[in-house]
Amino acid sequence: MEDFVGPQVRKQSADHHETVRCGDVEIGDGRFTVIAGPCAIESLDQALLTARVVKEAGAKIFRACLFKPRTSPYSFQGMGADGIPILEAVRAETGLLLEAEVLSLAHLELLHDHVDMLRVGARGMRNYELLKEVGRTRKPLILKRSMSATLDEFLSAAEYVLMSGNRNVVLCERGIRTFTTYTRNTLDILAVPALKELTYLPVIVDPSHSAGRASLVGPASKAALAVGADGILIEVHPNPAAALSDGEQSLSPPAFLSLMTELKALAAAMGKEV
């Protein structure tokens, strides 16, 4: 067991679990919530095509990132503020809830009124000033584990958000960096039940960034469900080969529809609901 679990994230009893509400969707408590969409919004057509697919398949929240942290400064960084009208168009047509990553205080101010759920990614997990500000918003948040963070470091980051007043935090395991090179990261699947032992917060998995290969996203998603995760955050693109970012790990619409059918069957066998 990890050395540090702060008072804000610590479970009060073995059966202490709480849900996080985003609009009319509750994450946790026997539900397996699917948050799906492209790595980044690229155009109106791309966003609407993807949103229609993920809604038809049963996803509840649309992944709608306008800002992307990239290792190379020459890679596509997202549409930025120019994409806000696209988010509104997706909401108007599909009614899907919107989730997006914020990389800075400026992004937080820009996106706050246009999305239903925020995300602080693996690179931002250690940006404690950003976490404090996100905490003051009270808006539902997905907090991703850094690729090199221990579980106590991860929970300490969550503590910053909670102690600032926001209890609507969903933890996300997205793989850690190890010596392997075949997958993008190594999915720490045991982090899911471990975090559930340590804290009452819902826990989801990002199978796309864990695997880095579309062929492995399905098995990682089913493993997440089987081990007790409360949902997944998954990348879907209408044409992965032409994606401006993370195409190699994005599922095509047929692949995503097939995976959702498998997840629903597995969830039913486990007494859960997708």
31 secondary structure, DSSP code: B
The residue whose two tokens read 């044409």 is 239
The reported pLDDT for the residue numbered 3 is: 58
Distance separating alpha carbons of residues 122 and 78, to the nearest angstrom: 17
Q: pLDDT of 66-82, one tens digit each?
A: 998 878 888 888 899 99
Q: pLDDT of 174-220, one tens digit each?
A: 999 999 999 999 999 999 999 999 999 999 999 999 999 999 999 99
Q: What share of the chain is helix, strand, coil (3-state, %, to 5)?
A: 40, 20, 45
Please report whether residue 18 resides in a domain. Answer: no
* Cα Rg, the chain, nearest whole Å: 17
Residues 6+ apart with CB under 8 A from 32: 225, 229, 230, 231, 232, 263, 267, 272, 273, 274
Which residue, among 114, 94, 106, 39, has the nearest Cα to 69 in the 3D structure? 39
Q: pLDDT of 123-147, one tens digit each?
A: 999 999 999 999 999 999 999 999 9
The reported pLDDT for the residue numbered 99 is: 98
Please report whether residue 224 resides in a domain. Answer: yes
Instruction: Specify the length of the chain in residues.
Output: 274
Please report whether residue 39 resides in a domain. Answer: yes
Mean pLDDT of 240-263: 97
The reported pLDDT for the residue numbered 103 is: 94
Token pair for residue 23? 């609009």
Cβ–Cβ under 8 Å, residues 146 and 175: no
Please report whether residue 214 resides in a domain. Answer: yes
Cβ–Cβ under 8 Å, residues 62 and 54: yes
pTM of the model: 0.96
User: Could you give the 3-state DSSP secondary structure of residue 233?
Assistant: strand
Q: What is the CATH number of the domain that holds 220?
A: 3.20.20.70
The reported pLDDT for the residue numbered 73 is: 86
Please report whether residue 231 resides in a domain. Answer: yes
Domain total for the chain? Answer: 1
Domain containing residue 197: 29-269
Taking residue 82's Cβ as centre, other Cβ atoms within 10 Å add up to: 10
Mean pLDDT of 37-42: 97
Position 240: which residue type? P
- The CA-atom distances, in angstroms, between 164 and each of 37, 70, 120, 132, 138 are 29, 28, 15, 6, 9
Please report whether residue 14 resides in a domain. Answer: no
Distance separating alpha carbons of residues 153 and 157, to the nearest angstrom: 6
Distance separating alpha carbons of residues 226 and 266, to the nearest angstrom: 8
Please report whether residue 45 resides in a domain. Answer: yes
User: Is residue 1 over pLDDT 50?
Assistant: no
